[in-house]
Amino acid sequence: MTINLIVAMDHKGQIGNKGGLPWENIPIDQNHFRNVTIGDDPTRMNVVIMGRLTWESLPKPLKDRVNVVLSENMDFKIPGILVLNSFEQVRLFVHELDPTFFGDVFIIGGAKLYEKFLPEAERVYLTYVAGDFEGDTLFPGHDTKKWQVTSCTPYAKGSESPYDLEFIIRDRIKPETPSE
Ligand SMILES: NC(=O)c1ccc[n+]([C@@H]2O[C@H](COP(=O)([O-])OP(=O)(O)OC[C@H]3O[C@@H](n4cnc5c(N)ncnc54)[C@H](OP(=O)(O)O)[C@@H]3O)[C@@H](O)[C@H]2O)c1
């Protein structure tokens, strides 16, 4: 079971503003998010895990994925959605997922969840959004020496994006096995 992060940020590392995104809708990035988080294995469902504020920023539950929302409020319930109350519960849930039925796990924000799960993640799907935006929520800093860029695909602004973008995949560099 691999843990992945998926995030869109600007060059300042901003990811959110006033409960929403710092930028206008980016249809091509919404498609990218959907395709990556659903994946291409129809036999196993992927899991998306998010903080309560990110949940509230969504128009509706994310279809074809198991939605998990983190809140400290034990009374917070959403019909049909799994609400967990601590990082420990999330960790336990992830480690107990049956790989016969469930595929990859995606941490989809916000800031605290990214920070907490970055050390355990193997892959980060990053969309860089070019532009100057106002923001109040930042992606946590991370040691780029521990990550390699596996792919970087530029996308020029047009009808599917009001901004120039880069779709980047970063994979954790595996420690070298000592030779005998
Ligand atoms: N650009 C992107 O890719 C992206 C992705 C996601 C979100 N965003 C943006 O980021 C902003 C939301 O992010 P955020 O960081 O402010 O909030 P968030 O992480 O989405 O939600 C924070 C909430 O999650 C719950 N939570 C966090 N840590 C917890 C823990 N250890 N145990 C139990 N519950 C915990 C708490 O809910 P309770 O208060 O209910 O206890 C907390 O108030 C929005 O502006 C959103 O649009 C952007």
d(CA 85, CA 34): 26
Cβ atoms of 46 and 102 closer than 8 Å: yes
Question: In the structure, what pLDDT confidence band is assigned to residue 178 with cuts at 50, 70 and 90?
Answer: low
pLDDT at 145: 84
Q: Which of 51, 24, 9 is nearest to 138 (CA)?
A: 9
Could you tell which of 137, 163, 165 is best to mutate to test the pocket of ligand 1, judged by most ligand atoms within 8 Å of the CB?
137
- Which residue segments constitute the domains of the chain, with CATH numbers given? 3-172 (3.40.430.10)
Atom of ligand 1 nearest to the CA of 109: 6
Residue pointed to by tokens 């970087």: 152
pLDDT at 11: 95
pLDDT at 98: 96
Say yes or no to pLDDT of 180 above 60. Answer: no
Q: Which of 49, 34, 147, 44 is nearest to 107 (CA)?
A: 49
Q: How far is CA 119 from the centre of its chain?
A: 14
- The pLDDT tens digits of the residues spanning 51-75 come to 999 999 998 999 999 999 999 999 9
pLDDT at 169: 97
How large a percentage of the chain has pLDDT more than 70?
A: 97
d(CA 127, CA 153): 9
Q: Which of 118, 126, 120 is nearest to 169 (CA)?
A: 126
Binding-site residues, ligand 1, Cβ < 6 A: 7-8, 15-17, 19-21, 50-54, 57, 70-73, 76, 85-87, 108-113, 137
Residue whose CA is closest, atom 38 of ligand 1? 71
Say yes or no to pLDDT of 133 above 90. Answer: yes
Cis peptide before 110 (omega within 30 of 0): yes
d(CA 46, CA 66): 6
Is residue 78 helix, strand or coil?
coil
Q: What is the DSSP letter of 59?
A: S
- The pLDDT tens digits of the residues spanning 71-93 come to 999 999 999 899 999 999 999 99
Could you tell which of 24, 29, 71 is best to mutate to test the pocket of ligand 1, judged by most ligand atoms within 8 Å of the CB?
71
Atom of ligand 1 nearest to the CA of 116: 31
d(CA 140, CA 112): 8
pLDDT at 2: 84
d(CA 104, CA 89): 17
Residue whose CA is closest, atom 27 of ligand 1? 51
**From ligand 1's centre to the CA of 111, what distance in Å?**
6
**From ligand 1's centre to the CA of 171, what distance in Å?**
24
Say yes or no to pLDDT of 179 above 70. Answer: no
d(CA 20, CA 16): 6
Atom of ligand 1 nearest to the CA of 56: 20
Q: How many helices (H) and strands (E) does the chain have?
A: 4, 10
pLDDT at 69: 98
